[in-house]
Amino acid sequence: MLEGVTKVYGSGGAKVEALRGVDLEVRRGEYVAIMGPSGSGKSTLLHIMGLLDRPTSGRIFLEGLDVSRLDDLEASKLRSKYIGFVFQAFNLIPWLTAFENVMVAASIAKLPREEAATRARRLLELVGLSRRLHHKPNQLSGGEQQRVAIARALVNQPKVLLADEPTGTLDSSTGLQVVKLLRGLTEEGVTVVTVTHNPDVASVADRVVKLRDGRVVE
């Protein structure tokens, strides 16, 4: 939940108000799409929700805990426990296989290796890649790479998955497959928040939040 969140970059004549008093509550297991024109503050909002950035003012609550002013180490620990990220750029390590890419994230989350391997295989099977475990990114289609990225984001069993334009580089058919996958995660209790320009992506959401000039307008 966000209460009165603002984000200001720069100062004086170079000051940019990216967010202006945003109030937003996202319920557990909900699929929320955030829409708005370029420069409206969508990605800034997502980064603040994911503790990748701090608000200039206002409060953020995660699982009932006020996380607005955590230091970098505390924020990192909370992210690894509660939050997964999927971005438009897949950000896979090119010399590692799909399975190894997911295992890297499991290692960062400090999972025991045997448990991590079991979880990585299960997640890659969940996203339809059980036969592509040992393929490297350049051997996978764009949609397959994004599904590896989703499996990687889920390996720490996050309660919240944040996705920034997850279908932005995909064709419409492949993008729809990724959206259906994200939608299905909510049935397992994962809260999904996605930033998108695509009305087809937003159409499957439980709720659409529209931003303009750093404010929620709808």
C-alpha triplet 38, 42, 47: angle, nearest 5°: 135
Q: What confidence score (pLDDT) does residue 63 get? A: 81
CA end-to-end distance (rounded Å), the chain: 17
Residue count of the chain, please give it.
218
Domain 30-53+71-216 sits in CATH at: 3.40.50.300
Alpha-carbon distance of 43 to 66, in angstroms, equals 21
pLDDT digits (tens, 9 = 90+) for 37-80: 888 989 999 999 999 888 999 999 988 888 888 888 888 888 88
- What region, left, alpha or beta, does residue 100 occupy, with left being phi > 0 and alpha being psi -120 to 50 degrees? alpha
Cβ–Cβ under 8 Å, residues 193 and 1: no
Q: Which residues contact 130 (CB under 8 A, 6 or more apart)?
A: 121, 124
Q: What confidence score (pLDDT) does residue 136 get? A: 95
- The structural domains of the chain, with segments of one domain joined by +, span 30-53+71-216
Residue 82: in which H helix or E strand, if any?
A: helix 72-82
Hey, what amino acid is at 116?
A
C-alpha triplet 30, 84, 157: angle, nearest 5°: 85
Per-residue pLDDT averaged across 155-182, rounded? Answer: 85
pLDDT digits (tens, 9 = 90+) for 124-152: 988 889 899 999 999 999 889 988 998 99
